[in-house]
Amino acid sequence: DITPLLPAMAIAGLTVAVNFVVDWMLHLSSGLRSD
């Protein structure tokens, strides 16, 4: 039964998604600054 793992998987996925979005926004803003 993997049900107890679902919240942990959701948190991990959310963390990765937020990290990716923040990194992309920082890369985008730094690109705009250097331009």
The pLDDT value recorded for residue 34 is 61
With a cut of 70, say whether residue 33 has pLDDT above it.
no
The pLDDT value recorded for residue 1 is 78
Dihedral sign, Cα of residue 22, residue 25, residue 29, residue 31: positive
The pLDDT-based confidence of 3 (bands split at 50, 70, 90) is confident
C-alpha 22/C-alpha 35 separation (Å) is 20
* Residue range 14-35: mean pLDDT, rounded: 88
* Long-range pairs, 13-17, Cβ under 8 A, ≥24: none
What pTM was computed for the model? 0.62
